Amino acid sequence: MLSVSLALAFAYALMHRQALTPRRIAVLLLAAAAIAAPGLRAVWMDRADAPLHAAETSKKVVALVDQMDTFAAARNECLQSVRNDCEECQPLVRFVLPVHTACAHPRGRIELRRDALATGCVARGDTLECGKSL
Amino acid sequence: MLPIWRAFVPLLFFATAGAVLDRALALDLGALGRGIGRWVRWATCGIVACFAAALHPVVLGALIALALVGRFVRSRWGSAPPSRGAPLRAPPWWGVAAAVLTLVVVCRPPTLSYWDGFVWLAKAKIESGGWGALRAATLDQSTDIVPPGYPLLWPLAASWLSMSGRSMEALAAGSAAMTLLTLMLFLDAAADAPGIGHPVAMPAGAPGAATRAAGERRWAALGLALVGVTPLVFVHLRSSYADLPVGLLAATCTLRLVRSVERGGDAPGDLSVAAITAIALAGIKDEGMAHVVALVVALIVVKVWKLWEGERLPLAPGMAVLAAAAIPFNGWRVLLASHHVVDADHSLSRPDFHAAGAIARTVLAHLADTRTWGALWPIAFVCAALVLARGNTFRSATRLATFAFLAEGALLVSAIVFGPARVRVFAFEGTLVNRLLLQLAPAAGAMLMLALADAAMAWQTGRRASPLAISTSPASPVPALTRSSD
């Protein structure tokens, strides 16, 4: 409702020359920013990708990508299978293995559990286990 | 912070290539204005030319042929050579906006946080394996490229601008450089927009002209700031998604085409930029072609409904832009078809009219989500309604920009109805609707900017009784000073 009221005030300013002053339009702009404030607060402060948390999230992403990259590179990106239960890891797996080509001697498995991003990976033989949840 | 310095050498290479093409084909890109804007236009031209060459030499040849035809037509039927005038310097706040936006884009962690890594940067990594690697992989049915058949410009540019980097941070920097390029191209077009950068009806040296231009630029800043305070715009500026760049290119194309139409044969550079952005649009995403088609539809509507004041509205510039976009778009489609690759996400299917109600409700819910969009959409749609209802207050350029905004919106929403079922699943359960709306946000900003400048011009001239005062009579409902034909 607030945004519709603001839109009507904007229309009034456009229609009536007396209402269109730089100061009034600046006030409208501030009101628009106030309406957007909860969203702006979320993207600047609350979300995992917000500047306040981005460094922490970034560390987890870098660690997981590095571990998968090293594991896949050691096997010439020719893996037996990738089991992925971690939704947020999906883009990272695709980035590490952009082309799933058929290869002659596939070796190694990557298992990504739901909490893989938070807990990181451990290599056990030919399996890279990421995450602890079952 | 992203290692954006990786893009410096490639950008210099692309700008040089663009400058050579500009000179060889008489595109007039450099003549539009000096400063950083010229380098941005050249770099974009260079990237677009390399993209065309990467698709197929025939595509590049066809685009060069189109440019040569344009040059021939201008020299054969054109009148006097374009008058250069004195290009206005961009105001200080334009520099501040460019600097702030650059910081927002560059100062982010060099990691992937979204599905942009899945769709775009994974493909950019393939191209970093060698020139043509992505094209070959995409056209090879045996490789598992996801999603298959998508246009290539975005991942190609990300790879090229990262100096063929293979790491996350290098490729993220490459895509950030391309985002910055589209941002600067848009700001450059906004600074030059009719009624913003150049007083449309006053000689540059007329008394008060500079003051008026400066005042209108202030309104432009306020109009664009409405888009700038949108939360989702901030998120996408810090990602490698292609949707905001698509929107920026579409808005640039609109502003340049409008200026080209307004100034007639006096502005070949504007038409060249419009055509280059249209090629880029067709090469980045399939929706990009929809934006170009919508713009041409808007041009036809404005012509048919006689909404263009002054001289007869020519359709030729619009057709030239459409032809430029159609060359890479159809070239890629032919390549896909000849290699039996199906772009399943974007093939047309039987329209699902039963889902129309649900789609409308979903789109409305997204439009009304102030946490994501702030007050942008109510303001934009009220402004559009006002321009349609009280057209006499607004110049022809503003009316065309408004129709372009509405046509682009209508075409994108109808794509959800006419697309395959998979698209509707993305719309109902994913981020598709917000990403499509993001493609419209710069168009909304351009419309708001022009409408505010028009209203301000009417206000200023109404307030001051001066030699610049406008005359309104029943015969000329549009203020004489704002006639496009002047």
- Which residues does chain B have within 8 Å of residue A44's beta carbon, measured at their own beta carbons? 234
pLDDT in tens, A74-109: 888 888 888 888 888 888 888 888 887 677 788 889
pLDDT at B68: 93
Q: CA of B335, closest CA in chain A: separation in Å?
A: 20
pLDDT in tens, B209-230: 444 555 556 677 777 888 888 9
Both tokens of B86, joined, read 């004195």
pLDDT at B213: 52
Using CA atoms, how far apart are residues B195 and B212, in angstroms rounded to an integer? 10
Both tokens of B149, joined, read 């058949």
pLDDT at B214: 53
Residue B85 Ramachandran class (φ > 0 left, ψ -120 to 50 alpha, else beta): left
Using CA atoms, how far apart are residues B35 and B140, in angstroms rounded to an integer? 43
pLDDT at B116: 75
Phi, psi of A109 (to 5 degrees): -130, 145
pLDDT tops 70 at residue A37: yes
Facing residue for A26 by CB, picked from B222, B231, B393: B222
pLDDT tops 80 at residue B24: yes
% of chain B at pLDDT higher than 90 = 50
Phi, psi of B93 (to 5 degrees): -65, -25
Q: In what order do the strands lie in the sheet with A109-112?
A: A81-84, A109-112, A127-130, A121-124
Phi, psi of B171 (to 5 degrees): -70, -35
Give the contacts of B65 (CB within 8 A, at least 6 positions apart): none
Q: pTM for the whole thing?
A: 0.89
pLDDT in tens, B119-158: 889 999 999 999 999 999 999 888 888 788 889 999 999 9
ipTM given for this complex? 0.86
- The three-state secondary structure class of B413 is helix
| Range 152-211 of B in CB contact (< 8 A) with A | 168
Give the mutation candidate from A1, A2, A28, A43 for the B interface (greatest B CB count, under 10 A).
Answer: A43
Test B109 with A58 for CB contact under 8 angstroms.
yes
Alpha-carbon B366 to chain mean position: 23
